[in-house]
Structures are given as C-alpha cells and as structure tokens.
Amino acid sequence: MMPKTMRALVLPGPGKFEVQDVPVPAPGPGEVLCQIRAVAICGSDPEILRGDLAGAWPPAYPFIPGHEWSGEVVAVGEDVLDFRPGDRVAGEAHKGCGHCDNCLKGRYTLCLNYGRPEQGHRHYGFITNGAYAQYNVYSIKSIHKMPKNVSFREGALVDTAGVALHGMELTGITPGGTVAVIGPGPIGLITMRMARALGAARVIMVGRRSRLQAAAALGADVLVDFEQTDPVAAVWAATGGLGVDEAFECSGAKGTFDQAVRMVRKGGSVGLVGVPPDHVIEALPFKYIVHNEILITGSRANPNVAGKILNLVATGQLNLKDLISHVYPLEQFKEALETFVTRRDGAIKIVIEPNGPEGILL
C-alpha cells in the first residue's frame, strides 16, 4: 500500500533547506510515480540551495530540488502503456512541451515554452519539484528503462554522462585523434572516458591539484597542471605542434574558453560543456577563429542520449562506478553537501539514497 507521506529535502526559502514529511504526489495522465533510489548531487544544486537563482530556479517556495536520479516505477497514471510498476528507470531533468518548433526537432532542452507548465513544459529539480525525496512524479518522456545489470547508483549518473555525450555529438570526435579536456570535475572526467569510448586515441586533461591526480588515476594520457605551466603551450607541445582535434571546456571558469580555442588544430572543434556564471564574459581571438575555421558549439543538458549512455554502461564500455566517491542517506544531506562543496576526502560524485541502499528499503 502506498504511503500518504514521504521524507523530502524541502527548501522553505532562499538559502534554507530541511528534511520534512510531505504528501506523496499522485501521477496524472502520461505520468508515473517513482520511488527514488539514488540521486546525485550536481554542481548546479548548491546554487539552487543558496538561493542564488531564486525567482528562476526555483520560481517559488517551498521547493524540492534534485535532478540526477534513478528509481523504480511504483504507480502509473492514465494513458501510460509502456511503463508498469517494478520498472527500473533512470531519469532526466528536461521535458519539453512537445509541440513547439524546437521540441518537434528533438531539441526539447531548448523548448520555446520553457517555464510554462500550462503548455506541458517541465524542468525537474529546477522549476518543477525534483528527486531529493522518497517519491516523485515524472512524465514518461523523462524516464528510461535501465538494463538489469546497471545499478541505481550508476543510473543516477546517466544525466551527467549524457551532458558529456550530447556535447560530443554536437562537435564530433575524431577516431584515432587527440582530445583536450579542461576541468577534471565529474563532467570532465566522464568526458575524458566518453571521448575514448567514441574513438579518441589520447586524452589530455587540464586541471590542478587533487582533481588532476584523480584524472591520472582514472585514465588520462597526459596531465597539464595550469598552476605550473601555460596550458595552451603544454597542449601544443604534447601534440607535436599540431593542436588537438577537439577541446572540451568542462569547468566554466574565466579564461578557459579562449584557451580551448587556442588548443585545437586548424579546422578543429571546441565543445562548451561546462556552465559558467553569468558574470564570465570571454574575449576571443575573432580573426584567429575565422582564419583557422574553428567550430565552436554550445550544448545544453542531455537530450536524446540516455538510452545510449545506459547501453554503454551495461556493456562495460563506460565505467561510472568508480566516480561515485561517497553515498549518504537523505537524512545526512547537510553532511553530503558539505563534502561535495569542499571536495572533502577526494569527493567526485556524491549519491543520496532516499530509500536506502539497493536491495534494502527503509
């Protein structure tokens, strides 16, 4: 029998959060109720929790954040035929309106009705209640069945991995080529591995301190410490003066966009995967970009890639397990957040389990 209340991380106002008992939501037409089994802390979550984006993300309070999740379908709404209770699923944050020009082209993360729930748009964990809870309702357009050999913890990283893959689908990957990745955070580390899975022969990681050492342990071929050397010069030296085929900016830090442009070879591509703060405005070498025919692509979130990620994980071609450094119950969210923000004990990806570990229910 479905409980009437659940435990959830609730933001009562900007900069405040607490675990509360709240009603379990009910699925509407085209929706399912999911028991959340794992939800990963994303780099955008601290901004939302601090209230930096209040009025937009979220638009109002109280609010339940969280968007990198996996779980199990426990109830279905009207007109749901392809999902049933017991299905193990991985979620994504975006659900477009489904009828605007961008949605019809499959670009639903760029929905022209963004922020208009009456038009059918949802952005879970940002403007629509999210996954830091024992249960939540999702559109069937925002969930994907998981292979049996993919764990819930791995499923919570499908969203992050999808961000990397979407960026690479936009820029392309050169088989047998060399890739530079700026920023060895979770997305950068997955980008490194994804580039390999898609055919890159070598990956150069640009970063510093413990995260750069983590990249070494997780498979980077060349390390560039930007605190010790000029990263552009180091990348050119590592490629024999040719530059890399593709460079992926995964940090969102000031100055790294320009560095990525100058790292690629003539005719190379730059993928912008990291999300910078609003105040970061880059000065770019306009003529250099034109004369060298450098392709620059922005990317937003992870449209149309979750199934591909799940197949890569299920077949062992993309390892996500060793990126999960810490696991906490929902009741210890404050400690989990502090560990994430301070990168304590080598933190990379931190997973919250609102209903206990896999195979065990509270």
Residue 268 and residue 328 share a domain: no
Residue 112 and residue 23 share a domain: yes
The pLDDT tens digits for 108-163 are 999 999 999 999 999 999 999 999 999 999 999 999 999 999 999 999 999 999 99
Residue 108 and residue 16 share a domain: yes
Q: Is the pLDDT of residue 285 over 70?
A: yes
Burial of 175 (0-12, 13-18, 19+ CB in 10 A): exposed
Residues 6+ apart with CB under 8 A from 246: 168, 171, 172, 173, 174, 177, 179, 180, 195, 200, 264, 268, 269, 270, 271
Residues 6+ apart with CB under 8 A from 290: none
CATH number assigned to the domain comprising residue 220: 3.40.50.720
* Residue 104 within any structural domain of the chain: yes
Burial of 218 (0-12, 13-18, 19+ CB in 10 A): middle
- Cβ atoms of 85 and 75 within 8 Å: the answer is yes
CA dist., res. 125 & res. 57, Å (int): 8
Return the SS3 of 150.
coil
* Residue 122 within any structural domain of the chain: yes
Residue 135 and residue 249 share a domain: no
CA dist., res. 88 & res. 70, Å (int): 8
CA dist., res. 359 & res. 143, Å (int): 21
Residue 227 and residue 169 share a domain: yes
Backbone angles phi, psi at 77, to 5 degrees: -90, -175
Q: Is the pLDDT of residue 361 over 60?
A: no
* Residue 276 within any structural domain of the chain: yes
Residue 184 and residue 117 share a domain: no
Residue 93 and residue 20 share a domain: yes
Radius of gyration from C-alpha coordinates of the chain? 20
Residue 145 and residue 65 share a domain: yes
User: In which residue are the tokens 């913890």 written?
Assistant: 153
Cα separation values, 239 from 21, 183, 221, Å:
56, 19, 12
* Residue 307 within any structural domain of the chain: no
Residue 122 and residue 183 share a domain: no
Residue 270 and residue 151 share a domain: no
CATH number assigned to the domain comprising residue 102: 3.90.180.10
Residue 152 and residue 17 share a domain: yes
Q: For residue 133, what are the domain limits?
A: 5-157+320-353
* Residue 306 within any structural domain of the chain: no
* Residue 289 within any structural domain of the chain: yes
Number of folded domains that form the chain:
2
Q: Enter the tokens of residue 135.
A: 């249960």
Angle formed at CA 97 by CA 91 and CA 101, multiple of 5 degrees:
120
Q: What is the pTM of this model?
A: 0.96
* Residue 349 within any structural domain of the chain: yes
* Residue 137 within any structural domain of the chain: yes
Q: Would you state the pLDDT for residue 1?
A: 80
DSSP 357: S
The pLDDT tens digits for 8-23 are 999 999 999 999 999 9
Residue 174 and residue 153 share a domain: no
DSSP 195: H
The number of CA neighbours under 13 Å toward the Cβ of 98 is 12
Q: Is the pLDDT of residue 362 over 80?
A: no
Q: Is the pLDDT of residue 64 over 80?
A: yes
